[in-house]
């Protein structure tokens, strides 16, 4: 990616990850290669790119740490082979923390040389009771929350990293924008009911309220584990326009060219970051 270029060709890869890490890596790699072949220089994949499995003991047995995980190594090699910024939406990984044996849900950005540019551990974990025949979710039972927001430099494009349920916490995105992020990434595995009701409006809201591009790569369809996810990957402009979208839950790729000058233009027209003020909250 040319650091001086204001226009950056990007892509979001939509997947239907299953129970086998090697098969998932192959499926993702095929679509990543297609995206790069079509000209994308920054490619984002969904949350849980490496594995979608409801059996958490099986997940633990299948993954490694960031330094020895097979999927991490494969995607590093792929980024180097394609000479692109490859942003793997998230992988479940072990840590070496003796005091907490939970995994992390880690989003990893690889540079064109295959090195890790930055990584982000999902902060807001999906502990919800949806009802309406949907199961309850308690991600914190097996995932350790991250504690640090991350803005990464991708060849001159400043990227604010997040994962899925983070999308419902606008303060995170406002902090990323204040730190200079022009593009907000939202790899996700939304449920079908919440996706139908909230996915588009939340993504457009995060773009509008920060004056940022939003890239949202999604899992979609009925997975081998039995879980169903919404799909409908989106790329949104700083003005809230949908630049590209996958209109179904099928695996595939969407493309857009991000004119980074639009970020400054929109933030000049509606300077919400500068206009934000501290205030005394009401008493409960």
Domain ranges across the chain: 7-272
DSSP 222: E
Task: Give yes or no for a contact between 203 and 216, defined as CB atoms under 8 angstroms apart.
Answer: yes
pLDDT of residue 98: 87
pLDDT of residue 38: 99
pLDDT of residue 52: 97
pLDDT of residue 6: 86
> Which CATH architecture group holds 7-272?
4-Layer Sandwich (3.60)
Angle at 253 (CA atoms; ends 1, 230), nearest 5 degrees: 125
pLDDT of residue 1: 58
- Distance separating alpha carbons of residues 81 and 19, to the nearest angstrom: 26
pLDDT of residue 5: 59
Cα-flanking dihedrals φ and ψ of residue 128, to 5°?
A: -140, 160
Active site members: 47, 122, 164
Low-confidence residues in the chain, pLDDT < 70:
1-5, 132-134
């Amino acid at each position: 990616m040319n650091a001086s270029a204001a226009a950056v060709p990007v892509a979001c890869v939509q997947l239907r990850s299953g129970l086998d890490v090697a098969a998932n890596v192959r499926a993702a790699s095929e679509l990543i290669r297609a995206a790069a072949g079509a000209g994308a220089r920054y490619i984002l994949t969904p949350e849980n790119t490496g594995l979608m499995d409801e059996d958490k003991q099986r997940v633990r047995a299948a993954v490694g740490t960031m330094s020895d995980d097979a999927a991490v190594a494969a995607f590093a090699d792929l980024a180097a082979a394609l000479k692109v910024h490859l942003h793997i939406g998230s992988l479940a990984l072990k840590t070496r923390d003796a005091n907490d044996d939970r995994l992390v849900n880690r989003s990893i950005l690889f540079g064109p040389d295959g090195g890790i540019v930055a990584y982000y551990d999902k902060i807001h974990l999906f502990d919800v009771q949806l009802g309406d025949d949907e199961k309850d979710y308690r991600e914190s039972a097996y995932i350790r929350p991250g504690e640090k927001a991350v803005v990464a430099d991708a060849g001159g494009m400043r990227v604010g990293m997040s994962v899925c349920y983070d999308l419902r916490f606008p303060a995170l995105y406002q902090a990323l924008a204040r730190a200079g992020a022009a593009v907000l990434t939202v790899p996700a595995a939304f449920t079908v009911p919440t996706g139908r009701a909230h996915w588009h409006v939340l993504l457009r809201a995060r773009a509008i309220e920060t004056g940022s591009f939003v890239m949202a790569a999604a899992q979609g369809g009925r997975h081998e584990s039995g879980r169903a996810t919404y799909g409908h990957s989106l790329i949104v402009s700083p003005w809230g326009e949908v630049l590209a979208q996958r209109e179904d839950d099928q695996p595939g790729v969407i493309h857009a060219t991000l004119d980074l000058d639009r970020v400054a233009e929109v933030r000049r027209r509606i300077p919400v970051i500068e206009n934000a003020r501290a205030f005394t909250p009401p008493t409960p």
